[in-house]
Amino acid sequence: MSSYRQPGVVLTDRHFTVPLDHTDPGGEQIELFGREAVARGKADDDLPWLVYLEGGPGFGARRFVGTEAWLGRAVEEFRVLLLDQRGTGLSTPANRQTLPLRGGPREQADYLAHFRSDNIVRDCELIRPQLTGGAPWSVLGQSFGGFCAVRYLSAAPEGLKAVLITGGLPSLDAHADDVYRAAYPRIERKVAAHYARYPQDVERVREIAAYLAEHRPESAGHRLTPEGFQSLGIMLGSGNGSHQLHYLLENAFVRTPLGVELSDTFQEAMRTANSFAGHPLYALMHEAIYGQGKEATGWAAERVRAEFPQFDVATALAGDGPVLLTGETIHPWHFDVDPALRPLRETAELLASRTDWPELYDPESLAANQVPVAAAVYHDDMYVDTEHALRTAASIRGLRTWVTNEFEHDGLRAGGPRVLDRLLALVRDDV
């Protein structure tokens, strides 16, 4: 355990050992990493703990510098644990380089089945007494971190003092098909809004998609395809994403001795945006976070997309309509075009066909909830369906919602202290 300073905070690196399978506590162990953050002038104070659960799945906790974003507000009164959930960040990694240590695809899929929110919550409950001496702590869950927080409320409410959720209220019972059936119309609205803001991008997107369909270039081993290009629409789910997408598109082409080509600048930007090298669990486990009961997720985003033919690139290019971008969806072709995912294609297929996912949420426990809970629900959130979120909010006793269209899915980052302030006020009945 080592401590060091950044502007306004003292940081301490903490390492924990937890069972891979919590039903076998004496079996294989994995490591978790968490970074403690506390205000400089309060490093020796007896402060309540706040554990931050990042969105994803598959992302380590944010690497803040000093008191950036919401962290500055949090350390005014909390000792914060920025937890790298299992398989992410500096916790025992799970990627194309490490997963072969488990064996073949079947062994890899069985291993990854332990990397959902149920076991993330069990990890938290094993860590909590080591830090708090047994006292309950507060949880701040962003996006998938909010899904974990709802699981926490279902399975171990005794460990919770308060729960703050931003853009992360899951449906309690929707199948992955239902999630994506609700998502594609939202995505289409976001794309339409982008084209209304930047009408010049309609033709530019058509030109790029047509070029990729004809040439199929590669960048550092990553195959650049029209479908991969469409997935850049995920940027439209953040507050400044539409503007960033526009700037990316304006660098698309360059004139060369051989004619007009897709620029190296654009190809590198597209490759970087589409690469899962830094977060492969996002691709492997994304649909698994919706898996409950005996029905496989079965590449839901790919299957449901067929119900929305307006997203087909070839059809759009054959006509006069705009090429629609997509969003937070994972498809089988991701495991063909991305060198970070290619060796894991069979593992992904096994996870998609799995039919023994445990139930994640307990409606009876949530209906009897005694923990103060507040949730920011971003109206028309591109990533989380508002109707699903509000239905869940109504199912959790005492949960207070803040429904706003001021922010996109990244409101906690973009709104920083103001978002956290509002949620804290709600759980304390100060508003």
346-399 residue pLDDT tens: 999 999 999 999 999 999 999 999 999 999 999 989 999 999 999 999 999 999
User: Which contacts qualify for 94-99: CB closer than 8 Å, 24 or more apart?
Assistant: 94/280, 94/281, 94/284, 95/277, 95/280, 95/281, 95/340, 96/280, 96/340, 96/341, 96/342, 96/343, 96/344, 99/344, 99/347
The pLDDT score that the predictor gives to residue 181 is 97
**Cα gap 412→415, rounded to integer Å:** 5
Name the catalytic one among 175, 334, 388, 409. 409
The pLDDT score that the predictor gives to residue 380 is 87
Q: State both tokens at 206.
A: 């058509």
Count of C-beta atoms within a 10 Å radius of residue 247: 10
**Cα gap 343→325, rounded to integer Å:** 27
**Candidate CATH numbers 3.20.20.150, 1.10.1060.10, 3.40.720.10, 3.40.50.1820; the one for domain 2-173+361-427:** 3.40.50.1820
The pLDDT score that the predictor gives to residue 293 is 85
Q: Three-class SS of residue 125?
A: helix
143 is an active site residue: yes
Identify the H or E element spanning 392. helix 386-395
Q: What is the pLDDT of residues 16-45, one digit of tens each?
A: 999 999 999 999 999 999 999 999 999 999
Cα 43 to the chain's mean position, in Å? 31
Residue range(s) occupied by CATH 3.40.50.1820 in the chain: 2-173+361-427
Q: Are strands 253-256 and 222-223 parallel, antiparallel or unpaired?
A: unpaired
Identify the H or E element spanning 5. strand 2-6
Alpha-carbon separation of residue 102 from 273, 293, 346, 351 (angstroms): 29, 25, 14, 15
What is the DSSP-derived secondary structure letter of residue 262?
E
The pLDDT score that the predictor gives to residue 416 is 83
Would you list the DSSP string of 196-260?
Answer: HH-THHHHHHHHHHHHHHHH--EETTEE--HHHHHGGGGGGGSTTHHHHHHHHHTT-EEEETTEE
Query: Comparing C-alpha atoms, which of 391, 380, 395 is closest to residue 153?
Result: 395
Contact between 327 and 190 under an 8 Å Cβ cutoff? The reply is yes
Q: Three-class SS of residue 18?
A: strand
pTM of the model: 0.97
Q: State both tokens at 76.
A: 């005014």
Name the catalytic one among 117, 143, 154, 275. 143
Indicate the length of the chain as a whole number.
431
Q: What are phi and psi of 201, to 5 degrees?
A: -75, -15
118 is an active site residue: no
2 is an active site residue: no
Name the catalytic one among 46, 356, 429, 430. 356
Q: Are strands 137-142 and 160-166 parallel, antiparallel or unpaired?
A: parallel
Contact between 156 and 190 under an 8 Å Cβ cutoff? The reply is no
Residues 6+ away with beta carbon under 8 Å from 199: none
Q: Three-class SS of residue 391?
A: helix
- What residues of the chain score a pLDDT lower than 70? none
Identify the H or E element spanning 29. strand 29-39
**Cα gap 195→303, rounded to integer Å:** 26
